[in-house]
Amino acid sequence: MSSPQSLTHAKVDFVSGDFEALASHMRHCALAHGRWFTVKSRLQRVRSAAAGRIVTMACLAVVLVIGLYAVT
pLDDT band with cut points at 50, 70 and 90 for residue 20: confident
What pLDDT was estimated at residue 32?
Answer: 79
Residue type at 15 in one-letter notation:
V
What is the model's pTM? Answer: 0.37
**Euclidean distance between CA atoms 37 and 43, whole angstroms:** 10
What are the two backbone dihedrals, phi and then psi, of residue 50, each rounded to the nearest 5 degrees?
-75, -30
Mean of all residue pLDDT scores within the chain: 81
